[in-house]
């Protein structure tokens, strides 16, 4: 047994294999992207059991709706991470998920999600890593909300109490900062 | 060109990559990306950096999850193939299943109903046949009984008539006795002088047997002369108990002689068997 031998394909080959609905495509997809996707999912969902469910749902959905992916419109990961994020948000807002928590009666989902997270949120594990410390606090905050909490920019604007335009600018600056960081 | 730069700097491309745009806004970005290579490049940069960002924050799911997810995806692949490629087919199959479930019940029902009808029909036919034969039998019995009844009625009538002969005071009973040649012979007749009727009692008759060529002939003595009263036979062929003979108004006596078949005009006196006089 060689459990650590992971399958890796070029994005092009992977897309081709997915189109052909080859079994190896599922394995490669998992080996190449499960950790990145799970990183996003577990930060939104926070409960490991639920996060694993969402990861599974994500792969099933990627597989089943792969016909709707078009390489012209962007990278495979961008498409997949948006599926993962949407499923995570759906899960967090689902009755199922809320019933396992104590505050089922809260009507404001965003507030509720936030409170949920605050109880389990571990910045050291789940927050943005130190190496992105080059980000300014407000840039970290917006990335944290939008990328790892599943907020829309409108919700983030409300949460941070800043105008929408500012949110957009901050988000852009944060991502510019990341680009700089990764290109170094 | 300045427009494009402003567009890039507006932050809409980041929101596009984050999936945070309305469908119309998405189409707008895609259109811009097609028209302006700079937009496309910028999008690719944003995507790449966010993907790397995600990789930096990647968390390995638990080990056992790989097999589970790969398998369930592949099982789903099976399901998926059924549902996407053979959706209509599987729908039909469901209907077919429904039919398969309901149809046998119907056919089963009709089968049993038909069998029941057939059984009832057979039972009815059998019943009708046996009733018909019973009816025939009853009719036959009834006919027999009616015939019997008629016979008995006739007999009763006859007996009544006989009895009437004896009760009727107008009738005179005449006993004819055997002659020295035939001492055992005897016979009885009744004569009604007013109605002129003469009846012979065949039952109490004891006359010697005769052959086929002869018959007995009854004679009445009217004013000393024999008058033919008709022929009779004491054989079994003449079943009548009382035989009515020819009429006679005035008779002094009666006698029976054995005559050749067909009778004679004058009695053969030496063949006389019985005689009776008043």
Statement to judge: residues A86 and A142 lie in one domain: no
Q: Does A21 touch chain B (CB under 8 A)?
A: yes
B-contacting residues of A 70-89, CB under 8 Å?
A: 73-75, 77-78, 81-82, 85-86
CB-based contact A175 B15, cutoff 8 Å = no
| Residue B120's pLDDT band (cuts 50, 70, 90) | very high
Q: What is the pLDDT of residue B262?
A: 83
Distance from CA of B74 to the nearest CA of A (A): 7
Report whether pLDDT(A108) > 50.
no
- Looking up residue A98, the CATH number of its domain turns out to be 1.10.1740.10
Asked if A25 and A76 sit in the same domain, the reply is: yes
Query: Regarding beta strands B186-192 and B197-206, do their DSSP bridges make them parallel or antiparallel, or are they unpaired?
Result: antiparallel
**Higher pLDDT among residues B116 and B58, named by residue:** B116
Is A28 part of a structural domain of the chain?
Answer: yes
Distance from the Cα of A9 to chain B's closest Cα (Å) equals 16
Nearest chain B residue to A183 by CA distance is B49
Contact yes or no for B61 and A52 at CB 8 A: yes
- Do A39 and B43 make contact, defined as CB atoms within 8 angstroms? no
Cβ proximity of A28 and A7 under 8 Å: yes
Structural domain contains residue A113: no
Q: How high is the pLDDT of residue A151?
A: 87
Whether residues A16 and A57 fall in one domain: yes
Residue B12 to residue A168, Cβ atoms within 8 A: yes
pLDDT in tens, A139-168: 888 888 888 888 888 898 898 888 988 888
B15/A153 Cβ within 8 A: yes
pLDDT tier, B239 (very low <50, low <70, confident <90, very high otherwise): low
**Is A98 a member of any domain?**
yes
The burial of A182, by beta-carbon neighbours within 10 Å (0-12 exposed, 13-18 middle, 19 or more buried), is given as middle
Using a 10 angstrom Cβ sphere, with 0-12 exposed, 13-18 middle and 19 or more buried, the burial of residue B262 is exposed
A59 and A145 part of one domain: no
ipTM of the complex: 0.79
**How remote is the C-alpha of A172 from its chain's centroid?**
18
Domain containing residue A159: CATH number: 1.10.10.10
B117 Cα to chain A: minimum distance (Å): 56
Alpha helices (H) along chain B = 2-9, 12-17, 23-35, 37-56, 65-80, 87-167
Residues A172 and A90 in one domain: no
User: Could you tell me if A160 and A74 lie in one domain?
Assistant: no
Same domain, A26 and A99: yes
In a domain, A110, yes or no: no
Share of chain B above pLDDT 70, in %: 85
B5: left (phi over 0), alpha (psi -120 to 50) or beta: alpha
For residues A12 and A91, state if they share a domain: yes
The answer as to whether A123 is a domain residue is no
User: Per the domain annotation, does A92 fall within a domain?
Assistant: yes
Provide the chain B residues 40-69 that lie in CB contact (below 8 A) with chain A.
43-63, 65-66, 68-69
User: In this predicted structure, what is the pLDDT of residue B235?
Assistant: 58
| Domain span holding position A64 | 8-103
Residue A21 domain-assigned (yes or no): yes
pLDDT in tens, B17-65: 988 888 898 889 988 888 999 999 999 999 988 888 888 888 888 888 8
Predicted confidence at residue A81, as pLDDT, reads: 92
Q: Write the DSSP string, B103-148.
A: HHHHHHHHHHHHHHHHHHHHHHHHHHHHHHHHHHHHHHHHHHHHHH
Mean pLDDT for B203-227 is 85
Q: Whose CA is closest to B176, among B205, B213, B211? A: B205
Measured from the Cβ of residue A56, the count of other Cβ atoms closer than 10 Å reads 20
| Residues A89 and A27 reside in one and the same domain | yes
Query: Would the CB atoms of B61 and A85 count as touching at under 8 Å?
Result: no
Per-residue model confidence (pLDDT) at position B191: 87
> Of chain B residues 5-44, which have a CB less than 8 A from chain A?
9-12, 14-15, 17-20, 30, 43-44
Are A94 and A22 in the same domain? yes
User: Is A154 in the same domain as A90?
Assistant: no
What is Dmax (Cα atoms) for chain A?
55
Asked whether the whole model's pTM tops 0.80, one would answer no
**Cross-chain Cβ contact B47/A75 below 8 Å:** yes
| Domains identified in chain A, total number | 2
The helix (H) or strand (E) run that includes residue B265 is none
Of the candidates A35, A74, A82, which has its C-beta nearest B58's C-beta?
A35
Residue of B nearest to A181 (CA): B49
Burial A129-141 (b: 16+ CB within 10 A, else e): eeebeebeeebbb
Answer yes or no: do A178 and B68 touch at CB < 8 A.
no
Nearest CB partner across the interface for B49, out of A23, A39, A178: A178
Among all residues of chain A, which has the CA nearest to that of B83? A64
Q: Are residues B246 and B198 in contact, defined by beta-carbon separation less than 8 angstroms?
A: yes
Which residues of chain B have a CB within 8 Å of the CB of A23?
74, 77
**CA A140/CA B50 separation, integer angstroms:** 13
Residues of B in contact with A59 (CB under 8 A): 69-70, 72-73
Q: Are residues A99 and A136 in the same domain?
A: no
The confidence score (pLDDT) of residue B116 equals 93
Question: Would A154 be classed as within a structural domain?
Answer: yes
At B99, is the pLDDT very low, low, confident or very high (cuts 50, 70, 90)? very low
């Amino acid at each position: 047994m060689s459990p650590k031998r992971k399958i890796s394909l070029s994005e092009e080959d992977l897309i081709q294999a997915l189109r052909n609905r080859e079994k190896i495509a599922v394995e490669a997809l998992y080996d190449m992207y499960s950790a990145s996707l799970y990183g996003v999912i577990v930060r939104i969902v926070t409960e490991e059991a639920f996060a694993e469910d969402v990861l599974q749902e994500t792969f099933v959905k990627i597989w089943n709706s792969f016909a709707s992916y078009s390489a012209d419109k962007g990278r495979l990961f961008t498409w997949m991470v948006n599926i993962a994020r949407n499923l995570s948000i759906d899960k967090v807002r689902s009755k199922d998920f809320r019933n396992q928590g104590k505050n089922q009666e809260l009507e404001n989902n965003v507030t509720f999600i936030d409170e949920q997270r605050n109880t389990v949120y571990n910045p050291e594990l789940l927050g943005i890593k130190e190496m992105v410390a080059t980000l300014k606090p407000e840039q970290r905050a917006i990335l944290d909300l939008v990328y790892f909490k599943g907020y829309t920019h409108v919700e983030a604007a409300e949460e941070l109490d800043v105008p929408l335009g500012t949110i957009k600018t901050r988000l852009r600056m944060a991502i510019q900062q990341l680009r700089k960081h990764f290109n170094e | 060109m300045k427009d494009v730069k402003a567009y890039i700097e507006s932050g809409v491309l980041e929101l596009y990559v984050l999936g945070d745009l309305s469908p119309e806004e998405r189409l707008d970005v895609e259109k811009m990306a097609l028209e302006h290579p700079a937009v496309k490049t910028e999008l690719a940069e944003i995507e790449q950096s966010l993907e790397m960002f995600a990789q930096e924050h990647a968390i390995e799911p638990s080990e056992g999850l790989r097999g589970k997810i790969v398998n369930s995806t592949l099982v789903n692949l099976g399901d998926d193939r059924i549902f996407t490629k053979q959706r209509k087919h599987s729908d039909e199959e469901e209907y077919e299943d429904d039919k398969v479930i309901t149809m046998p019940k119907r056919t089963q029902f009709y089968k049993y109903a038909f069998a029941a009808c057939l059984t009832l029909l057979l039972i009815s036919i059998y019943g009708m046949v046996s009733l018909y034969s019973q009816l025939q039998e009853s009719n036959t019995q009834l006919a027999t009984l009616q015939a019997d009844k008629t016979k008995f009625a006739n007999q009763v009538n006859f007996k009544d008539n006989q009895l009437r002969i004896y009760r009727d005071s107008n009738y005179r009973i005449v006993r004819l006795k055997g002659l020295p040649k035939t001492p055992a012979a005897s016979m009885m007749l009744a004569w009604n002088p007013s109605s002129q009727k003469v009846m012979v009692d065949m039952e109490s008759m004891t006359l010697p047997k005769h052959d086929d060529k002869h018959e007995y002939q009854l004679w009445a003595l009217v004013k000393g002369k024999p008058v033919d009263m008709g022929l009779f036979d004491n054989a079994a062929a003449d079943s009548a108990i009382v035989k009515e003979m020819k009429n006679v108004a005035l008779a002094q006596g009666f006698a029976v002689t054995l005559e050749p078949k067909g009778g004679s005009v004058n009695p053969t006196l030496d063949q006389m068997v019985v005689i009776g006089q008043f």
